[in-house]
Structure 1
Amino acid sequence: MRATTPAAAAPVTAPPATGEPATGTSTGTSTGTGKGRPTPKRKVAQAANRRPLVPLDRKAAAREERARRRVQRDQEYRAMQSGDERFLPVRDRGPVRRFVRDSIDARRSLGEYFLPVAFVLLIAQTLLAATAPEVVLVLTLVLYLFILGTVVDAIILWRGLKKKLVARFGAEALPRGLTMYAVTRIFQLRRLRMPKPQVQRGQQPR
């Protein structure tokens, strides 16, 4: 018999490429640059746009705020003395309110004497209540008449002033609360009025 020889081994061929990484090394490299992490450019942009929501130094910010308010109060106080419109409080600014102040300050009114007169009459009533009740009755009547006189005088002053305001600035230019603003100044002593009077008695307002 003839001896048989084994068949020659078939050649080994490489598997077809599938597009996937062949080694663990390449897989690790691909994972590092995937979508799971932001790119360096994105990190830079986020760092540039990040701002602190609160001051880093609260004490320094508080000191700066107190200093700013102190300067503002000083400016307002000096403006109250000089009448400088730039630094007056908001409630006192504007040509309308300045005209109201000047018109009231230029005229002598009963209202500016109300507090001292009423104080004196009330003290006198208290001291004489036990010894001279008749005098107390007279003083009470005088006080009531004086109160009535101050109210009537204030009404007359305001009605005349309002006509001047409408003629000069127009009705639509008169802000709300102007009546109370004027009445409050009418019933203050001239030396205690703030802002300080900028006109003399009898002087026409500008």
Structure 2
Amino acid sequence: MTKSADKSSEQNPEKKGKATPKRKDAVAKTKINSITSPVSKADRAKNRESQKLARAEARAAYMRGDQSALPMRDRGPVKKFVRDYIDSRRSLGEYFLPLMVFVLLLTMVPSVEIRFLAIVLMYSAMGYSIIYGVFVGRRIKKLVTEKFPEESTKGLALYGWLRSTQMRRLRAPAPQKKLGESL
């Protein structure tokens, strides 16, 4: 033995006392510790059914507009006000998607004039939708500032415009106000 080895053994008299376990043994030990009791087929089916019911209840609460079920982007009285404002009005944006499908069908017609009119219709609808978005966004900001003076209006214009471009039937959460109903 060298002098340095003697000194280190004198300074650290405790030794490990056993060999490092092989990886195979260590992995097997963790598998044994992590194994849970086997779940029967009936229990798995019952768990799956209860999870399905929980998801259905959560979706129903979301579609009703229940504040606890909404994601953060849709929560709060200001966002509810914007949704109600948009839902109580009709806009061309609601019909944008079906209109684009119609335009797509028109572009397949062999007549050049009809295809040209389809393209003009498409760009007109896009332009109208953008201009409508600017105006409805300004109106939303004004109304929110009047009704909720302490709340920020950041992002509300885009939130309202995007909701107005969705087909009424496909909006989530579902519209709470009927068309023409006052706020």
TM over 0.5: yes
1:134 Cα deviation after fit: 1.6
8 A contact 2:91–2:164 mirrored in 1:
yes
- Which residue of 1 is the match for residue 121 of structure 2? 142
Larger radius of gyration between Structure 1 and Structure 2: 1
Instruction: Provide the C-alpha distance between the structure 1 equivalents of 2:50 and 2:151, rounded to a whole number of angstroms.
Output: 35
Q: Is the 8 A contact 1:106 1:200 kept in 2?
A: yes
> Which of 103, 112, 116 is the matching residue for 1:121?
103
2:137, 2:156 within 8 Å by CA — same for their partners in 1? no
Q: 1:99 to 1:88 in 2, by over 3 A?
A: same
1:191 paired to 2:152:
no
Give distance in 2, aligned partners of 1:148 and 1:169: 31
CA distance in 2, matches of 1:87, 1:67: 20
Residue in structure 2 matched with residue 180 of structure 1 by the alignment: 158
SS in 2 for 1:101: helix
Q: Does 1:162 align with 2:147?
A: no
| TM alignment of 1:1-206, pairs within 5 A | 70=52, 73-126=55-108, 128=109, 130=110, 132-170=111-149, 172-174=151-153, 176-205=154-183
Is the contact between residue 102 and residue 199 of structure 1 (CA under 8 Å) also seen in structure 2? yes
- Which amino acid is 1:168 matched to? K
Distance 1:66 1:142, change over 3 A: same
The Cα shift of 1:68 comes to 8.3
CA displacement, residues 8-48 of structure 1 (integer Å, 9 cap, x when unaligned): xxxxxxxxxxxxxxxxxxxxxxxxxxxxxxxxxxxxxxxxx
Which AA in structure 2 matches 1:141?
A: V
SS in 1 for 2:81: helix
Aligned residues: 147
TM-score (norm 2): 0.67
TM-score by length of 1: 0.60
Of Structure 1 and Structure 2, the greater helix share is in 2
Determine the structure 1 residue equivalent to 2:29. none
Rounded to whole Å, the distance in 2 between the matches of 1:160 and 1:98 is 15
Gaps of 5+ in 1: 1-53
Distance in 1, matches of 2:159 and 2:48, equals 30
Change (3 A) 1:183 1:171: farther
Distance 1:69 1:172, change over 3 A: farther
Identity %: 35
Cα distance in 2, alignment partners of residues 100 and 194 from structure 1 = 13
CA RMSD of aligned residues (A): 2.9
Deviation at 1:70, TM superposition (A): 4.9
Closer, same or farther: CA 183–58 of 1 in aligned 2, 3 Å: farther
